């Protein structure tokens, strides 16, 4: 509202200067006109970047993020946050998983453009992002095997070890995997519905 008021005041001042064009040079009037035009563009840009974020308190169901986030813990979900903001590594997010009636809460461990690799370990496979072994909140490396390895190895092969545009690696806090990317693969941004604050 304040930006629109400023816009109106500048418009009135410009009109007054045009009518009182005594002793003012054309370059001065051009400068005022440029300032007026720049302010109008700034108003348009700020309106484009504004987005509606709805905050809702929710109770966590399940223990896949324990002990980082405990079952029955209250979290704040910021719905619409990612309409205007990028998804970042380390973000806690809610996403809409087709096989689940409730939103699923996970941690973003890999984002678009990250190098993605599976490396053989003693009793399974580690997940690496940008050549670093991915770890949980207790600094323990994820160690997956069986179907979890098969699922993620398909993505590694198909995308030549790079997480594609608008895709994300979401993991729980259990090092052997949970109902996360080790089960259903990389997640498209369209499935991420909210940022979580704890």
DSSP class of 190 = G
pLDDT at 17: 57
The domain segmentation of the chain, as residue ranges, is 2-49, 54-197
pLDDT score recorded for residue 43? 40
The whole-number pLDDT of residue 20 equals 57
Report the predicted TM-score, pTM, of the whole model to 2 decimal places. 0.74
Question: Looking at residue 47, what is its pLDDT?
Answer: 39
Report angle CA 172, 175, 167 to the nearest 5 degrees: 45
Give the pLDDT score at 48: 39
Return averaged pLDDT per consecutive 10 residues of the chain, 198 residues in all: 64 62 52 53 45 94 94 96 96 88 94 97 95 97 93 94 97 93 93 96
- How far is residue 93's CA from residue 196's CA, in Å, rounded to a whole number? 5
198 vs 195: CA distance, rounded Å: 10
Q: What pLDDT is recorded for position 24? A: 46
> What would be the CATH architecture of the domain defined by 54-197?
Ribbon (2.10)
């Amino acid at each position: 509202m304040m930006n629109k008021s400023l816009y109106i005041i500048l418009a009135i001042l410009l009109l007054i200067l045009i009518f009182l064009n005594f002793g003012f040079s054309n370059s001065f009037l051009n400068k005022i006109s440029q300032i007026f035009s720049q302010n109008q563009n700034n108003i348009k840009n700020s309106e484009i970047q504004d987005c509606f974020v709805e905050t809702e308190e929710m109770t966590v169901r399940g223990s896949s993020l324990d002990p980082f986030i405990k079952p029955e813990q209250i979290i704040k979900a910021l719905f619409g946050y990612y309409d205007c903001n990028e998804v970042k590594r380390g973000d806690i997010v809610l996403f809409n998983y087709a096989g689940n009636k409730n939103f699923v809460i996970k941690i973003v461990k890999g984002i678009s453009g990250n190098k993605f690799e599976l490396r053989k370990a003693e009793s399974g496979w580690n997940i690496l992002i940008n050549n670093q072994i991915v770890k949980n909140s207790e600094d323990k490396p994820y160690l997956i095997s069986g179907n979890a390895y098969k699922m993620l190895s398909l993505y590694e092969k198909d995308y030549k070890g790079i997480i594609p545009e608008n895709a994300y690696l979401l993991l729980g806090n259990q090092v052997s995997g949970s109902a996360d990317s080790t089960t259903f693969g990389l997640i498209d941004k369209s499935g991420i519905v909210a940022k979580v604050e704890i």
